[in-house]
Structure formats: structure tokens, C-alpha cells
Amino acid sequence: MKATGVVVEYNPFHNGHLHHLTETKKTSEADLVIACMSGHFLQRGEPALVSKWARTKMALAAGVDIVIELPYAFATQHAETFAKGSISLLREIGCESFCFGSEDGGLSAFEKTVELILNNRSAYNASVKNYMKEGLSYPSALSNAFKDLEGSEKLIDLSKPNNILGFHYIEARNNAAPDLKAFTITRESAGYHDEHFASPSIASATSIRKNLFDPEQEESVINRYIPSATHGILEHYKKEFGGYHRWENYWPLLQYKIMSSSPSQLREIYEIEEGIENRMIESSKSAISFEDFMKRVKSKRYTWTRLQRMALHILTNTTKSEMNERHAAPSYIRLLGMNKTGQQYLNKMKKSLELPLVSKLSSADKNDIHLDMKAAEIYSLGLSSNEVKKKLLHQEWSQPPILMG
């Protein structure tokens, strides 16, 4: 059986994701699709709207055949490490190809861009450092350094979020899995960060989440942008757990953690550097919400996303030493769900897998999975009552891989 892979967050699964999934099947001509999906916390440093189990159900209902988890140590990282972890897992589980969405939509431009930077790495890195010394954020420095290298060839726009991820997917593929064939398709209609509904059927996950959290908006508005299965799963989750997850749910915990820590203690946290800990401590004393805190800490040098990731690692008390131990590559494959086709594939493949396939936490190496368990425990604290917190946390320990269809 020929498998292709996709790297996803599905926060939540919407019609744009369905388009990507449909085109992935068509373009790759694979027998099944394997989704490498972020767990409870996401690449932009925020909690997922609903649990990884609910999002696994969305994926399987839409036609994904296997869902595996991208561990916290890779899922909550900058694009390069995020891509390295996800491409590594897709290769380890036997994918022959992978497909990603991009603003560009042409693979040749990605290949040429990766080659250009590879051949000019020293000059590129020096240019990035110079732009950062001028006070630019890391992504802006990367984009400007890249523009300095551009010639007459057709290259990708590295200021676009999905193009940036795509660049790093190709780079990770070239470094660790050169036999893995790549495909890309153009994102439809809505931009990654669009907050408003500008299309009759395709909307960004950002705009969908904004609608769900806006008390003045009717939730039914989003129904034309999501499959009916997603709607049903969202409704069920809200009833079962009392609501959705957002940063504001965790603000009292984050505020306490920052205010009760010394600058030296915060400096031990992953990504905290250059004195930002002092600004965070002062801002936390007067901020009345997470958004207020972020606005007080925000500066030209740090993007909102990078600050969110810092805040997340403070919330989960994830230290530099913990993260640095796990940077090389994922050491296990956490199976979240599958359908009958996926089950058949795994039955044929599991004896040849080099990494352990974790379907029960009792069989996992506790050191390897420590960060994911800690993240799951803290994710449950974002719910409103002790009863539902306990229920969600129990699910992490007791839930076998979801089997659908």
C-alpha cells in the first residue's frame, strides 16, 4: 500500500483542509493518507480549540486514514524544527510522499529557493544577524536576508506563512528523507491569518475560531465553512467539556507562574533570552488579560507568535535542557486514530517500523513522552470545572487509538 503524508493542526478541520486532503489523494495517487498532527498545543504557541482526540475524529471523518501526533518538542517550535520533526515522522511511518499547501503552489520554486540559500548559507546567515541587530524580528530578518540573495529566477515569497513552512519541509526532506517525494497545492481563497469571512465556502481557521469566541456572532455562521462532521464534533465537545480552549483560559495560571518566578528562573525556560524575562515580569503585574499582557510585552523585535511560544513554555515549565535533549528527531510514533484502511496498513508495516508505535501510554518510554504528558495535564486546566478537567486528563491515559469506519 502506498502512503502519502500531510502535516496538519486542524484547529478546527474546515473546507480548506478538505480541499487539501482531496487534492493530496488525487495528486499523489496514494492508497492512503497519513496526517502528522500537532497535539494539544500548536506551532504558534497557543492551545488547540479542542483536544487532539476531537480533532482526530474530524480528520478521520473527512477521509484521513491514519493520524499520528507530532510531539510537543516539535509541534510548539519555530518552522525549521516543526518541519524537521513532522517530515521525520512521515518518513518513519513509511510515507512515500507528502503534500503541503502553500501560497505559491509550485514545487520548482521551493526547490530553487532551498538550493539558493544552501549555496549561500554563510552570506544569508550573516545578513540575518545584521538585520536582527537593526531591531527586526527573526521572520522579518529572514525575509529581508532572502531578498538580498534573490536573482532573476522564480522563487517563493518567504514572507508568507505557508511558504515559510513549505520551504522548511523541502529543506528537511532534502536533509533527512531525500527519497520522499513532495507535492504542493495552492491554498484556496482565505489567507492563513484572515480574521473575516471573505469567501462563500472557504475560511481560515483563525476566522472560524474568532467567530466561535465572539458572543455577538451566531455559531451557525461557520457551518458553510466546515464539514458537517466538524460541526457535530465541535458541538459535542462544547457540551461534554463546557466550552473551547483559548489562551484567556490559562491566563491566571500564566500570570501566577511569571509573578512567582525570579528572572533567573525564567531564563531557564526554553526561548526566554535577551532580558525579555524582566519585561514579562513587569507586564504580568498590571495586565488584566492574556491579550493585554501580550500587547504590553510586544515589541518590534519579537513577533506575537514567538512571544506566545515563550508564554506557552513558561506555562508548561519547559526548560531549555528539556527541549534541547529532544531536538534531533522524534523517538516514537504516537498513534491517535485510524480507519479500516489505516489499520490494514499498520498491520503490514508495524514489524518493519524502526521507532516504537505507541498506542497505549503504559507501553511508552516515560522519559520520551514526558513533555507530551505534561502538556496534556496542563491543557486540561483550561476547562471550567474539576469534573471535566479530570475527564479530559483521564482520556489521555485511557483513550486507545480511535478506530472509525
Q: Which of 111, 102, 216 is nearest to 164 (CA)?
A: 102
Is the model's pLDDT at 401 over the cut of 50? yes
Q: What is the pLDDT of residues 293-302, one digit of tens each?
A: 999 999 888 8
The three cell numbers locating residue 70: 507530532
The DSSP-derived string for 40-99 is SB-TTS-B-SS-HHHHHHHHHHHT-SEEEEEPHHHHTS-HHHHHHHHHHHHHHTT-SEEE
Q: Name the binding residues for ATP.
A: 7-20, 101, 162, 187
The reply to whether 384 falls in a domain is: yes
Task: Give the model's confidence band at 133: pLDDT under 50 very low, under 70 low, under 90 confident, else very high.
Answer: confident
315 and 385 assigned to the same domain: no
CA 333, CA 353: separation in Å to the nearest integer? Answer: 9
- If you average pLDDT over residues 340-352, what whole number do you get? 96
- Among 324, 354, 382, the domain-final residue is 324
272 and 311 assigned to the same domain: yes
Residue 54 sits in a domain whose CATH number is 3.40.50.620
- If you average pLDDT over residues 320-327, what whole number do you get? 85
- If you average pLDDT over residues 303-324, what whole number do you get? 95
90 and 28 assigned to the same domain: yes
Q: Name the binding residues.
A: 7-20, 101, 162, 187
The reply to whether 197 falls in a domain is: no
The reply to whether 218 falls in a domain is: no
10 and 57 assigned to the same domain: yes
CA 11, CA 362: separation in Å to the nearest integer? Answer: 28
308 and 380 assigned to the same domain: no
Q: Which of 106-120, 177-191, 202-216, 251-265 has the highest mean pLDDT?
A: 251-265
- If you average pLDDT over residues 354-368, what whole number do you get? 86
305 and 350 assigned to the same domain: no
pLDDT cut 70: percent of the chain above it: 96
**Exposed / middle / buried, residue 356 (Cβ in 10 Å: 0-12, 13-18, 19+):** middle
CA 367, CA 99: separation in Å to the nearest integer? Answer: 32
The reply to whether 257 falls in a domain is: yes
- Among 324, 357, 385, the domain-final residue is 324
Say if strands 66-70 and 181-186 run parallel, antiparallel, or are unpaired.
unpaired
312 and 337 assigned to the same domain: no
CA 92, CA 333: separation in Å to the nearest integer? Answer: 8
294 and 337 assigned to the same domain: no
Is the model's pLDDT at 64 over the cut of 80? yes
The reply to whether 202 falls in a domain is: no
Task: Give the model's confidence band at 190: pLDDT under 50 very low, under 70 low, under 90 confident, else very high.
Answer: very low
- Among 277, 302, 324, the domain-final residue is 324
Q: What is the pLDDT of residues 11-63, one digit of tens each?
A: 999 999 999 999 999 999 999 999 999 999 999 999 999 999 999 999 999 99
333 and 320 assigned to the same domain: no
Is the model's pLDDT at 192 over the cut of 60? no
Q: Count the neighbouring beta carbons within 10 Å of the beta carbon of residue 134.
A: 12
253 and 309 assigned to the same domain: yes
318 and 334 assigned to the same domain: no
Q: What is the pLDDT of residues 78-94, one digit of tens each?
A: 999 999 999 999 999 99
342 and 254 assigned to the same domain: no
Q: Which of 119, 139, 136 is nearest to 193 (CA)?
A: 139
Is the model's pLDDT at 191 over the cut of 70? no
Is the model's pLDDT at 1 over the cut of 90? yes
Task: Give the model's confidence band at 393: pLDDT under 50 very low, under 70 low, under 90 confident, else very high.
Answer: very high
Number of domains in the chain: 2
Q: What is the pLDDT of residues 256-281, one digit of tens each?
A: 999 999 999 999 999 999 899 999 99
The reply to whether 65 falls in a domain is: yes
> Residue 262 is part of which domain span?
247-324
Q: What is the pLDDT of residues 153-188, one digit of tens each?
A: 668 888 888 999 999 999 999 999 999 999 999 976
The reply to whether 237 falls in a domain is: no
Is the model's pLDDT at 357 over the cut of 60? yes
Task: Give the model's confidence band at 124: pLDDT under 50 very low, under 70 low, under 90 confident, else very high.
Answer: confident
The reply to whether 176 falls in a domain is: no
Mean pLDDT of the chain: 92
Task: Give the model's confidence band at 194: pLDDT under 50 very low, under 70 low, under 90 confident, else very high.
Answer: low
